[in-house]
Amino acid sequence: MISVKKVNNKPLNLLERIYLWEIARGLLVTTGHFFTNLFNPAGILTVPYPEKTIPLPGNAKFRTRHRLKLRSDGSPKCVACFLCQTACPAYCIHIEAAEYTENSVEKYPAVFDIDLSRCVVCGMCVEACPEDAIAMDTEELPGGALGRGELLLNKESLLRNLPGEPSLLGASNRLAGEYLKSRGER
Amino acid sequence: MPTITIDGKSLEVAKGTTLLEAAQQLGVYIPRYCYHPKLSIAGNCRMCLVEVEKAPKLMTACSTEAFEGMVVHTASDRVKAARRDVLEYLLINHPLDCPICDQAGECGLQDYYMDYSLAKSRFSQADKVRRQKRRAVGPQLVLDNERCILCTRCVRFCSEVTKTSELCVVERGDHSFIDLKEGKALDNDYTLNIADICPVGAFTSRDFRFKQRVWFLKKTPTVCLGCATGCLIEAHHNENTIYRLVPRPNAETNTWLCDPGRLTYKAVQAGDRLVKGVIKNGLIDLEPALREAAARIDEARAAVAVLGSPWLSVEDNAALALLAKDALKTGNYCFDFNTEQGIKDGILINKDPAPNTNGVKLVKAAHGGLSLEELSRRITSGQVKVVLAEARAAGFIKDALKAAAPRLIAFASNRGEIPAGSYATLPYASYFEVPGTFLNYQGLRRRTAPSVEAPEGVKPLWAVINKLAAYSGTSLRLDSADEALKGVRS
Amino acid sequence: MMEFFEANKDILLFAGAAGAKLAVFLGAVMGFTALMTLAERKVSALMQDRIGPNRASVFGFAFNGLFQPVADAIKMILKEDFLPGRAEKLLFTLAPFFALVPVLALFALIPFGDYVMVYGYQVELQVADLPLGLFFVLALSGLAIYGVFLGGWASKNNFALLGALRGAAQMVSYEVVLGLTLVGLMMIYGSASLQDMVRAQGGLLFGFLPAWGVVYQPFAFILFLVASTAENKRTPFDLVEGESEIIGYFLEYSSMRFAAFMFAEFIEIVLISMLIATLFFGGWQVPYLYETGFLFPGGAELPLNHYLVSAMQVGSFAVKTIFFCWFSLVVRWTLPRFRFDQMMNLCWKALLPLALLNILATGAALLYLGKL
């Protein structure tokens, strides 16, 4: 059964049916925008991404670019369990596991790549992670790059946090650097 | 012949049948850890508890024999509660290792927890008993005692199957753990079976360790070509890489699989895998290598000797025979191999290291040919200018080749196989990549199934032979492996 | 040698002047059209609070997108020149020329200034002053239909053919209105030569109002504006191509063949803007500017050099043209597309009767004023 909804459109009056006045009104709006923007280009809302970005509003709980968290000793929390790779609907995560020789946790990711050009920013990897090792809280929107290479995040770029981050993350940033250096992977 | 009732269904079973086996015949699955059909019954995991009417306590299904008139319930509330409690008991001290544990995905604890428990833990993680983790026991295995649930399958395997008794349970009660017996190392030829039968992640394979999560693996049933036993196996692979081989238990040949057999897959993806032709010691592209070899064959024609190989499938041997008989019209070909066969160690490993000695006999029956001694004699006498042989089979005529030094054109899939002094070597696809028929020592027909793809350009051997024939002047017109089988009784 | 020059001085001068005018004028028009492709995107961007193309750069200098036409041209040239297998190859190749050549030829008729004295010779600032220029304009613009229809038909593509049918129907219909709206003007000015019409618009009405066509024929101006937009197949009458959904006659065209169609459309914008300026807004006339200088209605005078006057006149024409080009862009990015039946109704049931009424009213007025 198709439900029918009657819409009573207001019949057009003569001025509207002649259409010219309505066209003129429309032109007024668009020329208004045209001249406003012509003489005040700074007021244009469009941002030339990716050179320029706008800060995300407020205490944003957006899913943004991934990062790998670190333990207090500076080693990555990730144990290469492959659950994020399994959960990923876009097949954008590539992990290769390796073994620590002396650490109490045996397994770590030797390779951890995220292909942002494939990523659909669904956050499934974060949900799946049993170690709370991957997070999407860098507040950096993934996807804007001038080349495909820039969209491939490897372990290093995932471990190193962003400049201008809060001090706690800055500390882990430093630890990540030292850790990578100590492993000669930098 | 007692008749019993399990979950309302009656069944007559042979005397001595346990409740667990009887339930299995009815299609009722009873969870178990310590029970294994090929090992003695231990009855220590308590997972298989079932309710038997008129019995005051729950009985272990694996160790209770069926008696006339028994009425068994496998899904009553008491049984369910017992399973939940047993699982909780087993999990009290089990570490939260799943993310780093190779068993995850095929783990008895995970599976049964999801099927029979789903209870929240009542114990703090900090209180868990710590034991030695990651102890390399033997060349193939890693032992993690924290994960062990003491089902003793491994202990029984070592004492009953291999009869080497390397493992034992030491200490008592809740202090007990699996350990090597003093002065022993876990280095028999069947240790990797322990990783298979271990229901949890206590024993894991050093070879497979951390390579791949098991839920990514695709499974292809195929045949082990490590020796003439011809065990049925399953190749586990993902994205064109084989990660491990596990046995496919069957009544005829094998329940287990030996360690050397399990590692045969390594040659397929080894670094020395041949993807190009070799002329003397230099790699060249496949086409020019084929043409060069064909030119040498064409020069010699009737002075070419063709040697079959028990390492090749029946089809490929038949194609070699066709090359000798139909294309080159030479009488110098030999499909005569009579290696002694039989189980060497009483378990699986055969005296004959080649998988297809029996299969080659079919080819000999169809196409005839010289005996190995006659061929060696002709080579030594210098009648033969060019010898075509599979790399490993060339070992049979090693002395003759050394003495007369004819041009040897070898077929090999890995560089390491190339016999010394070979003039040209042509690559062919491994039997993990193409199908092939083999006859094991029992005369059973075994067919391999391709689980991965051959490297680009590498063809099955029959196709290589077909090209070789065409390039040397006489086309065999083989379009498939089966066409080579013309006249061969299969 | 000198004798030859002396003997054929007039012809040589005429040829030289015509060549120079052609080169300068056509060069200016083509350059301007190239900029129009950029302007279209920039104007639409500004109207929609966007920035528009600003990435194409040479050695890092983007000049806010000034090189975009160059980049577009390079891209167009490098695209595969695709010829559908079942197409009529000759006509398929000819169609873009049919679209391009008539509009280019029409520029010859546009007077872009009065005249300049060069070394004592009077050089008319118009390539060809035909006595029946206006008819020639209408005749040539009628030819542009061939480009559309042959392009669609020769593609041997059903959608292209449907697009071509729509296009032909639309252009033929609006051709009628276009011609009829101009009849009033010819009646008033008594000439069909464009230069004559512009010169006639130099006078004053009531002593202060420039006697521009739009003052005499405001109604015809609006009709002409609508009809010419339709003739040019631009939004809101772009259902010939309907870029985003219904596609049009150039469906099978790619590379420079497609560019020819697109370029023809942009040249037509310029041409129509020039025609509107010429016919209704006094062409190169600047209000109160005469050959000797300004002469304001109050009696004030500002004598000016001849060359300055000429420059101002050409500049005035350019400004008017640019304004109408811009107006065309603004209209395009403001109005939604008509439906086909609405467009046809508008033509045959509204514009055509109105154009006829306009002729009737003009004739009546002229009769009443005794000028007929």
* A49-63, B66-80, B302-316, C320-334, range with the lowest pLDDT: A49-63
Nearest Cα residue to A186 out of A156, A164, A162, A160: A156
Among A31, A44, A48, the residue with its CB nearest the CB of C49 is: A44
The domain locations on chain B are: 3-88, 124-215, 277-484
Beta-strand ranges (E) seen in A4-55 are none
| Partner-chain residue, chosen from B100, B213, B216, that has the shortest CB–CB distance to A106 | B100
Phi, psi of B110 (to 5 degrees): -60, -50
Q: How far apart are the C-alpha atoms of B448 and B436, rounded to whole Å?
A: 5
pLDDT band at A167 (very low <50, low <70, confident <90, very high): very low
Contact C201, C210 (CB under 8 A): yes
pLDDT at C98 over 80: yes
The C-alpha of A73 sits at a distance from chain B's nearest C-alpha, in angstroms, of 19
| Res A179: pLDDT | 62
Mean pLDDT of chain A: 80
Residue A99 phi/psi, 5° resolution? -115, 130
How does residue A169 score in pLDDT terms, banded at 50, 70 and 90? very low
Retrieve residue C326's tokens.
């811009």
Share of chain B above pLDDT 70, in %: 100
**Inter-chain CB proximity B209 and A99 less than 8 Å:** yes
Q: Identify the burial level of C177 via C-beta atoms within 10 angstroms of its C-beta, where 0-12 means exposed, 13-18 middle and 19 or more buried.
A: buried
- DSSP H or E stretch at residue C36: helix C9-47
Residue B483 is encoded by which pair of tokens? 């066409």
Long-range CB pairs of B351-354, under 8 A, 24+ apart, other chains included? B351/B228, B352/B227, B352/B228, B352/B310, B352/B441, B353/B226, B353/B227, B353/B228, B354/B227, B354/B228, B354/B309, B354/B310, B354/B311, B354/B392
Percent pLDDT > 70 in chain C is 99
Residue B1, pLDDT > 80, answer yes
Q: Which of B99, B210, B216 sits opposite A130 (nearest CB)?
A: B99
| Rounded distance between C-alpha atoms, residue B118 and residue B87, angstroms | 10
Please give the average per-residue pLDDT across B320-330, as a whole number: 91
What is the predicted pLDDT for the residue at A104?
A: 67
- pLDDT of B162-206, one tens digit each? 999 999 999 998 889 999 998 888 999 999 999 999 999 999 999
Distance (Å, whole) CA C73 – CA C81: 14
Q: Which helix (H) or strand (E) holds B278?
A: strand B277-279
Q: Which amino acid, residue B468?
A: L
Cα separation, C174 vs C225, in Å, equals: 11
Q: What angle do CA C279, C283, C288 make, to 5 degrees?
A: 120
- HSE, CB side, 13 Å, CA atoms: give it for residue C308: 9
CB-nearest partner of C222 from A20, A29, A34: A20
A81 touches chain B (CB under 8 A): yes
CB B13 within 8 A of CB B4: yes
CB–CB contacts below 8 A, A to B:
30
Q: Does residue A57 carry a pLDDT above 60?
A: yes
CATH number, span B3-88: 3.10.20.740
Q: How distant is the alpha carbon of residue B199 from its chain centre?
A: 20
- Amino acid identity of residue A183, one-letter, is R
Q: Do C334 and A29 touch (CB under 8 A)?
A: yes
Q: Which candidate, C124, C213, C200, C181, places its Cα nearest to that of C351?
A: C181
Give the count of beta carbons closer than 10 Å to the beta carbon of residue A115: 16
CA angle A50, A53, A59 (to 5 degrees): 135
Nearest to B437 by CA among B474, B412, B462, B414: B462
Q: What is the mean pLDDT of residues C95-107?
A: 89
Higher pLDDT, B149 or A167: B149
Mean pLDDT of B96-125: 91
Characterize the bridge pairing of strands C289-290 and C209-210.
unpaired
Q: Which residue from C49, C222, C331 is facing A33, i.e. has the nearest CB?
A: C49
| Per-domain boundaries in chain C | 87-369
Task: List B223's β-bridge partners, or say none.
Answer: B232
The verdict on A135 touching B (C-beta cutoff 8 Å) is no
Model pLDDT, residue A184: 63
Write out pLDDT tens, residues B55-105: 999 999 999 999 999 999 999 999 999 999 999 999 998 998 899 999 999
C49·A38 Cβ contact <8 A: no
| pLDDT at B264 exceeding the cut of 70 | yes
pLDDT of B450 higher than 90: yes
How does residue B14 score in pLDDT terms, banded at 50, 70 and 90?
very high
Judged against a pLDDT cut of 90, whether residue C8 lies above it is answered with: no
* Chain centre distance of CA B193: 11
**Which residue matches tokens 């991934």?**
A66
Parallel, antiparallel, or unpaired: how do β-strands C115-118 and B445-448 relate?
unpaired
Domain boundaries, chain A: 14-43, 67-182
The pLDDT value recorded for residue B461 is 94
Which pLDDT score, from 0 to 100, does residue B81 have?
A: 95
Q: How far does the CA of residue A178 sit from the closest CA of chain B (Å)?
A: 25
Overall size of chain A counted in residues: 186
pLDDT higher than 60, residue A168: no
Which of the pair, A172 or B254, is modelled with greater confidence? B254
Average pLDDT, chain C: 87
Task: Name the DSSP class of B348.
Answer: S
Indicate which of A82, A96, A105 best probes the interface with B, i.e. most B CBs within 10 Å of its own CB: A82
**Cα–Cα distance for residue pair B125/C353, rounded to 1 Å:** 91
Q: Looking at residue C191, what is its pLDDT?
A: 86
Average pLDDT over residues C83-87: 88
How many Å lie between the alpha carbon of A43 and the closest alpha carbon of chain C?
8
Length of chain B measured in residues: 490
Q: Contact B208/B243 with Cβ under 8 angstroms? A: yes
B153 φ/ψ angles, rounded to the nearest 5 degrees: -60, -40
**Mean pLDDT on C284-299:** 82
The predicted complex's ipTM stands at 0.84
- Its CATH architecture, for the domain B124-215, is 2-Layer Sandwich (3.30)
Going from the C-alpha of A161 to that of each of A123, A166, B35, B434, C315, the distances in angstroms are 18, 10, 51, 48, 59
Alpha carbon C186 to its chain's center: 19
> Which of B359-376 are b and which e, b meaning 16 or more Cβ less than 10 Å from the residue's Cβ?
bbbbbbebbebbebeebb
Q: Which CATH class name applies to A67-182? A: alpha beta
Are C353 and C345 within 8 A, CB to CB?
no
pLDDT (0 to 100) of residue B360:
93
Tokens of A101: 């020789």
Burial B186-211 (b: 16+ CB within 10 A, else e): bebbbbbbbbbbbbbbbbbbbbbbbe
A82-to-A87, B142, B210 alpha-carbon distances in Å: 9, 21, 10
pLDDT at C290: 82
> pLDDT class for A170, splitting at 50, 70, 90?
very low
The per-residue pLDDT for range C135-194, each reduced to its tens digit, is 998 888 888 888 888 988 999 888 889 889 988 999 899 999 999 998 988 888 888 888
Chains B+C touching (3+ CB pairs under 8 Å): no
Between chain B and chain A, are at least 3 CB pairs below 8 A? yes
* Percent of chain A whose pLDDT exceeds 90: 25
pLDDT band of C112, cuts 50, 70, 90 = confident
d(CA A80, nearest CA chain B) in Å: 7
Output the CA torsion sign for B88, B94, B97, B98: negative
Question: What pLDDT, in 10s, does the model give residues A73-115?
Answer: 777 888 999 999 999 999 999 999 988 877 667 888 989 999 9
Q: What is the pLDDT of residues C192-250, one digit of tens each?
A: 888 888 888 888 888 788 888 888 889 899 999 999 988 888 878 888 877 777 778 88
Q: What are the tens digits of pLDDT across the range B469-485?
A: 999 888 888 888 888 88
Tell me the mean pLDDT in the region B409-437.
92
Return the half-sphere exposure (C-beta side, CA atoms, 13 A cut-off) of residue C281: 20
A27–C331 C-beta distance less than 8 A: yes
For residue A108, what is the enclosing H or E element?
A: strand A107-115
The closest alpha carbon to B401, from B416, B386, B418, belongs to B386
SS3 A81: coil
Nearest CA in chain C to A26: C334
Q: How far apart are CA C326 and CA B329, in angstroms?
A: 88
Phi, psi (deg, nearest 5) at residue A12: -75, 140
CATH number for B277-484: choose from 3.30.505.10, 3.40.50.740, 1.10.287.70, 3.40.50.720. 3.40.50.740
